[in-house]
Each structure stands twice: as C-alpha cells, then as structure tokens.
Structure 1
Amino acid sequence: MRSSPAPKRALFSSSPRSSGPTPSTASSTFRSCGRSEARRRTAKAASNRSKRSSHMLDNHETTRFISVANGDASADPWGASPSAQPTSDEPYARLELGLTAILTLPGLPVFYYGDEVGLAGGGDPDSRRVMPGEDALSDRQKAVRDLARKLGKLRRCSSALREGARVPIHAEPRVWAYLRGDPAADDFVIVAMHASTGPSSAIIQADNLPPGTYVDVLSGSSVEIGPGASLEVPPLTARVLVPAGSACL
C-alpha cells in the first residue's frame, strides 16, 4: 500500500518521542518532590525528548518529497512512466524550505539519501533509485546540495541550532520565523521561511529582535536590524541569519 504524502506536505514530521513526559512520569515526579522542583524536572524531560526527536522529509517507504511537491506523487512506481525528475524551479525551492526546517528546528535532522540533491521517486520501490553521480546532476540539484552543505556546516558549528531553545517570532499561513539559542549569550540564529508562490515578499516585523548587522548564511547578503526594521522574505525562500561577527561564518 502506498504511503500517504500528507506528512511531507507539512515540510517535516517528528517522531512520537517528541511528545512531553508521559502521565506516569509526571505523576511520579510530583509525588517524589516539591511542585517547583517537579516542574523543573518535567520541563527538562520534555526538553531532552525534543533534542532526541528526529525530523525527516521522506524515507524508503514513501514517495519522495520533491515528487510530491512536483504534483507527481501518483505515478505508478512499477509502470513505464514513473515520477519524473522535476525541471521547474518550484519543487526544488519547496525542497529547500523542507531541508531548512529539519536542519534548524530542535531535534535531529534525518536525510534519506538523495534528498540533498532532490532525487525524484514515487512510492516504494521507485523511492529507492540509484544515487546519481556528479555528472548526472542538474545545476538546480547542485544548488540544493549547496544549501544542505551550508546549513549542515552551520549546525555543526552552532550550539544554538543543536541545543538552543526555539523562540517563535512570526507565524501565519505559509510564513514562519523563529529564533534558536540565547541572544543574551550572543549565540543565536534567526530563521524565516516563506512558502507562498504569490508575487509579494513576506514582511516580518523585527522590532523585538536583537539589533545589529546580520549575514544570511544562504545568500551571503547583509541585513541590518534595528528599531522599526522589518525582515523581507521573498516567495519560496528561506533566510537564515547569524550575527555578522559569528565564528560560524
């Protein structure tokens, strides 16, 4: 039976272990200590579960994310016309948003081989195609790989992305922004994503963000944030900002 593509349309899915402490755990905690200490232990347990949870876009039993984004998820994996490798930009842009999400949210990013180059594929067994060689990759596939490399290097360098808290900045349909880490410790990353295809950029008010000069790790451009400033995010684009003086640049 073909797996439903619905989870992949949500950009990422987390394991059941990302939920909070079980009722039995919380109950025993409250019985063995005072309420304030119990709350601290319960919050710590929930945080630890979040760090151990994993996020992935697809796997060997599902249709490839990029084929879902290309509207090609229903192709017969056993037939003569399997899911085609996309040639338009939008499926790759949506894949880049998904990769940005799993590499910047709390938890462990999990890549199914080929996601880093936008490998197409229908349901199992078509989702298990041979990994293409360098000469077989299109320029757009190489661009996806470059994004994955940049974010992977940033995550390896930044403890804020590996262990920091997530602070919501902005949330509306198709537009999200959050901060990872602790601005007081000068160790933080700002992430903004715009999943709409409309002609207009999303405008995110940045009044509550730490003022200063930032660098977008993905584009290399500089961004000034201060009183009255806003952050512009074009359609189907992600922005990942770090302070200009960050050691991770």
Structure 2
Amino acid sequence: MRPLLPLTALLLASAAAQTAPALPTFEGQIIYQVMPDRFFDGDQTNNAGVDRSNLRAWHGGDLPGLTAKLPYVQKLGATALWLTPVYRQQTVNSFDTAPYHGYWPADFRDVDPHFGTLADFGKFTAAAKAAGMRVVLDQVINHYGYEAPTVRQQPAWFNGEAQCAASQNRDVDCPLSGLPDLRQSNPEVRQFLLENADFWRGQGVDAFRYDAIKHVEGPFLRDLLARDRAAGTWTLGEWYDADTGTVADWQKAGFDSLFLFSLQGAMRQSVMGSSSLTNVANVLARQDELPRPGEVALFLDNHDVPRFAQGSLFEDEGQARTRYGLRALMTLKGVPVIWQGTEIAMRGAGDPDNRRSMRFENEWTAAEREVFGAAQGAIAARKASRALSVGDQKLLPVPARLEDDLLLLTRQSGSERVLAAWHGGRERKTYSIRLTTLGLGTGTQAVTRSLYAGQDAKVSVSGGWLHLSLPGRDAAAFTLALK
C-alpha cells in the first residue's frame, strides 16, 4: 500500500505555508468546453479510422478545426476554452471504442496524430491568445491507456493487484475502470507528472483541469498544486459528485476550483425537471462555506453526464428549458462552463450519446438558433455587468408560499446591484413582495426591463413593494436602483 496523506492533513499542510504567491483567478471568465474530435474537422489528411456513423469511433475533429472555429466561440461570448486531452493515445481500440476522447494516453508530451501536431497546438494557443481567450487543458494524472507501451515497459510505475488488495483507500490504490493506475509515490512517476504540467505550460496553456482527483494520492496533489500556483496556473479539479463541502475542502487544500456537481444536479431537477426551486436554493445557501466562491465551476452538463436537454422527453421542451438553464447559470457567482452544443440544446443520453459531433449554424433549426441567441444574450449581459461577473451574491428570503416557483438573489459590486429572478411556474405571472420581506431597502423604481436582450420580463418598485412580471420557466436579471 502506498502512503496516503488524508485530506485533513493536506489542509493543514497548505495552511502552514508562511508565504503564498498571488492566487490565480478565473473569476469573470466564461469557459467553453470542447472535445476536439467531436468539434470540427479542419484537416482531412489526419482522418485515419474516422467513422462519423459510429459514436465510439474517431469523428475527425482536430486542432486546425478548433483554430478555424475560434470566431464561433467568440461570437457566443466565451472567454476561455477547455480542451479534453490531446495527448498521443494508445493506437488500438478497447471495448470496441477508439480513444477519441483523449483519456487513454500513451505519450503525455505529444499530440495524437488524429488531432494534429505540437505545431498545430502552438498555432491554436497563439490564435486563442490573439483573440483574448485563455486556454484550459485537461490533464490526466491517474492512469495510462489500457494498451499504452509504458505499462509493459515500466511495471514499477503502476499499482498491481497486491497494492490494491492491501489498500485502505481503494479509490486511490485500485484501477479506475480497469485503467493502469499510476503510483504517484514512485519518485520517477511523481517527477514525470510534475514535468508534464511544466511541458504544457511551455506550450501556452493558462490553466489545467485535473481529471479524477478522487483517485490520486494526496501528497502528490499537494506538490502539484504548489508548483502550479507558483507558476500562476489556475487549477480546476474534477471530483465526481462534489458538493459544497467537498469543493470547500479542496479549495483549502490548494485547488482554485472544482465543479459543483450538487448545483448541476439541483438545476437538472428544478430547471429541466419540475421540482421545487428550493433544491437550488439549498445549494446556494451554502455559499459562505466556500473560501473562493467566485472561482467555483458551474455547469449544466458535460461529457460525463447526459445532456441537459435530454432531461425532457420532448425536444421543444428540452430547448425551452435549456434556454432557461443558460440564463439562470449566467446570474450566479462562479465560473460558468458550457459544454459544446449546450448553447443549442443538443440532446444525448449517457456516454457516448452525449458526445455527438458538434453542429454549426448552417445545420441549425430555428429553435436551435433561438437557444443560441438566448445564450449569447445572457453571456453578453453578464460580461457587461461587473455585478453579474464578479459581484457578491446574496440569496433573498422568498415567502414560503412562493419558494417552489420563485428564486431571487442579488449580485452586487460597488454601487451596482442586479436582481436575478428564476421562475419555475409554467405560465407568465406577476409577483408582488414587500421590500422588508426581501431585505432590499427602500425607494422606488420605474418599470425596468430585463438585462437579457429580447426577454419580456419586468421589475418595478413602488409603495414598499417589489413587482415582478416574469415569463414561465425562465430566468431574468434586472438592474436594481434601491437604496
């Protein structure tokens, strides 16, 4: 069994640091997640084994294609791109599946020929930076691919059956989905993985998303995060199903951000489903537990979970509620992450159905264009408002009789204050609530329209009452001019 530093000890080790460099930040950024193979084919000469009719095969997307489509990402309004791994992969399929996703690496310091070359990666990062966009690269630190030559060449690098059998932490010491499990306590492995991060920093990467951190040794993570922080590299960890407490613990341990899975689950229930908005409110009510709430990654879906729109049996309903979800997401404190295709409400069940190839404007329906327009408008409003981008967040006490269908919060930066209203009711409705109930101060405000372009939502204040006119199943944001 390899030594494991418990998370509590990791927290103490981090807290003991006497001096710390300035913390990297992504607050105010909007991340667009791309799986390169499923995005856009920019070079048909690297299409060996491509079969777009098979969701488990290569589809031909590559780095030249991603570079060519940067204007599309800019048009949406995202400010950063997260790429799933582009490493050179094992050359054979496993379980009738090609390593198109990038998580079965064979060489951590080269680009898979299906994606292009290191030179293509350099062209991509240069183009992204010229467009004012940051680059987040997925880093695998837990395993190699099933058929990677290193597994045979360096057996001491991996945990075997004996280590797994003797382990007191099987999440760390045993293979994840049978993948060859790296032993980070081996000095060679530790140095190799640390230098991988240095290598990709040298290729122009601004931030790392670390895969499957639940399955990685604590002492190694401590060293890795310290090295990243010293280099000014923002770090985003994936702990599947993380709630607020888990995110808070890992922020204290050195991660800048984790994905808040509990919020994603609550939004799936309450926004895509028909459950009470108290599910979401209960998650947001724990915000004060987070050391750095503005850095937490917020998302509707990603490549590991079913598509958000898949939560409805009907395509039109899925599109309408995805529009609602995207607008709602843009009201929250944190770093929104949009998985490619969610901006048009693409559908898909579990892996690999949730990884269908991206479709672009010339292939969209009118309804998909409408969802994209809503996403684009909500992102533009967020970027134009310092309160929505980086302001403090306060959940307002909605009367109990309304809390199933109405969630209210404010975002404030300096003198700018924005009221966000989520409405889960099926039909348009007008609400009148006393200002004293909400703790919003005093004053009057003429009828004010939503900050989201094209949305028919209004707020006004008179006689000590807040009046809201909200469309059914939608989220709005309003400038609030009360004392």
Say yes or no: TM over 0.5. Answer: yes
Pairing 1:139-218 to 2, within 5 Å after superposition: 139-171=366-398, 172-182=403-413, 185-197=414-426, 199=427, 201=429, 203-205=431-433, 207-208=435-436, 209=440, 211-213=444-446, 214-218=448-452
1:131 matched to 2:368? The reply is: no
Tell me how far apart the structure 1 counterparts of residues 417 and 304 of structure 2 sit (CA, whole Å): 36
Greater CA radius of gyration, 1 or 2? Answer: 2
Deviation at 1:221, TM superposition (A): 6.0
Q: Read off the aligned partner of 1:211 and give its amino acid letter.
A: T
Deviation at 1:143, TM superposition (A): 1.4
Pairing 1:92-111 to 2, within 5 Å after superposition: 92-111=319-338
Q: Which residue of 2 aligns with 1:71?
A: 313
Q: For CA contacts below 8 A with separation 6 or more, give which structure has more relative contact order.
A: 1
Deviation at 1:234, TM superposition (A): 2.8
Q: Which residue of 1 aligns with 2:304?
A: 61
Contact 2:391 2:411 in 1 (8 A): yes
Pairing 1:199-238 to 2, within 5 Å after superposition: 199=427, 201=429, 203-205=431-433, 207-208=435-436, 209=440, 211-213=444-446, 214-218=448-452, 219=455, 223-226=459-462, 227-238=464-475
Deviation at 1:243, TM superposition (A): 5.2
Secondary structure of the structure 2 residue equivalent to 1:122: coil
Distance 1:23 1:59, change over 3 A: closer
Contact 2:460 2:467 in 1 (8 A): no
Q: Cα deviations across residues 133-173 of structure 1 (Å, max 9, x unaligned)? A: 21221222111111111121122222211221112235411
Tell me how far apart the structure 2 counterparts of residues 243 and 229 of structure 1 sit (CA, whole Å): 11
What is the TM-score of this pair, normalised by structure 1?
0.67
Secondary structure of the structure 1 residue equivalent to 2:370: helix
Q: Read off the aligned partner of 1:212 and give its amino acid letter.
A: Q
Distance 1:206 1:146, change over 3 A: farther
- Could you say what the CA RMSD is over the residues aligned between the two structures, in angstroms? 3.2
Structure 2 gaps of 5+ residues are 1-176, 178-241, 255-287
Q: Which residue of 1 aligns with 2:84?
A: none
Deviation at 1:205, TM superposition (A): 1.5
Deviation at 1:93, TM superposition (A): 2.2
Tell me how far apart the structure 2 counterparts of residues 23 and 136 of structure 1 sit (CA, whole Å): 45
Contact 1:21 1:46 in 2 (8 A): no
What is the TM-score of this pair, normalised by structure 2?
0.36
Tell me how far apart the structure 1 counterparts of residues 291 and 395 of structure 2 sit (CA, whole Å): 19
Tell me how far apart the structure 2 counterparts of residues 145 and 108 of structure 1 sit (CA, whole Å): 19
Contact 1:121 1:127 in 2 (8 A): yes
Q: Cα deviations across residues 39-87 of structure 1 (Å, max 9, x unaligned)? A: xxxxxx956521111111111111100011x137xxxxxxxxxxxxx1x
Deviation at 1:220, TM superposition (A): 6.2
1:52 matched to 2:288? The reply is: no
Tell me how far apart the structure 1 counterparts of residues 253 and 362 of structure 2 sit (CA, whole Å): 55
